[in-house]
Amino acid sequence: MRRTDLAHLLRAACDVAGDRDVLVIGSQSILGTYDEDDLPSAATASIEADIGFLDDPDRAKADEVEAVIGEMSQFHRTNGIYAEGVHVDTATYLPRGWRNRLIGWPLLSSEPAVPHFLEPHDLAIAKLGAHRPKDLAFVDALLQAGMLEIALLEARCDLLSDEHALVKKRIHSFLSSYEA
């Protein structure tokens, strides 16, 4: 996915939900910080973006986005990209304070969307916590490209809730393989 594709998707999501404060949670959140030409191909390979809203307590906005511009929708068939409507709580492994580190996007700071993106280290910790092969490959590609700092990832890992002690241990183990 390219930034222009994501901008189109975000405008559509905001239009569908009637809410300008949109949040990109998944891997495409990296496009809030880096241009696709600067990223490894593994970081932009997806044709979907996880889109949520900062104010969506009953998940109605996410569900509407999923229905109108989600997978197999007319939007998807026309544009070759789609949104997965998600609730903010979907991102189980975000470090404490992540909302204070959200990144804005001057590329799309006017009507109808005011997008927010996860800071790359917060995104990487969420991906490492999920521990799916595609998430590990995503973080590995960013590490290999020098776009993430190990020390900052370790510090962010320590900000995970204590209920995720085993996940924290697994993340620290993963990160230690890069320090050797």
Kindly state whether residues 82 and 130 are assigned to the same domain.
Answer: no
Kindly state whether residues 23 and 40 are assigned to the same domain.
Answer: yes
Q: What is the pLDDT of residue 130?
A: 94
Predicted TM-score (pTM) of the model is 0.92
Contact 92, 168 (CB under 8 A): no
Top-confidence residue, 108 or 73: 73
pLDDT at 102 over 60: yes
Per cent of the chain over pLDDT 70 is: 96
Kindly state whether residues 50 and 70 are assigned to the same domain.
Answer: yes
Kindly state whether residues 32 and 88 are assigned to the same domain.
Answer: yes
Q: What is the pLDDT of residues 105-159, one digit of tens each?
A: 876 555 678 899 999 999 999 999 999 999 999 999 999 999 999 999 999 999 9
The residues with which 49 forms a beta bridge, in sequence order, are 83
Kindly state whether residues 88 and 142 are assigned to the same domain.
Answer: no
Kindly state whether residues 14 and 79 are assigned to the same domain.
Answer: yes
Q: What is the pLDDT of residue 107?
A: 63
Where residue 45 falls among pLDDT bands split at 50, 70, 90?
confident
Distance between CA atoms of 136 and 74, rounded to whole angstroms? 31
Kindly state whether residues 147 and 164 are assigned to the same domain.
Answer: yes
Kindly state whether residues 61 and 131 are assigned to the same domain.
Answer: no
Q: What is the pLDDT of residue 111?
A: 63
In order of 42, 75, 131, 144, the CA distances from 167 in angstroms are 23, 37, 9, 22
Kindly state whether residues 114 and 126 are assigned to the same domain.
Answer: no
Kindly state whether residues 92 and 132 are assigned to the same domain.
Answer: no
- What range defines the domain where residue 66 resides? 3-119
Kindly state whether residues 73 and 15 are assigned to the same domain.
Answer: yes
Q: What is the pLDDT of residue 91?
A: 82
Kindly state whether residues 55 and 138 are assigned to the same domain.
Answer: no
Q: What is the pLDDT of residue 108?
A: 57
Distance between CA atoms of 87 and 131, rounded to whole angstroms? 19
Domains: count for the chain: 2
Distance between CA atoms of 45 and 141, rounded to whole angstroms? 12
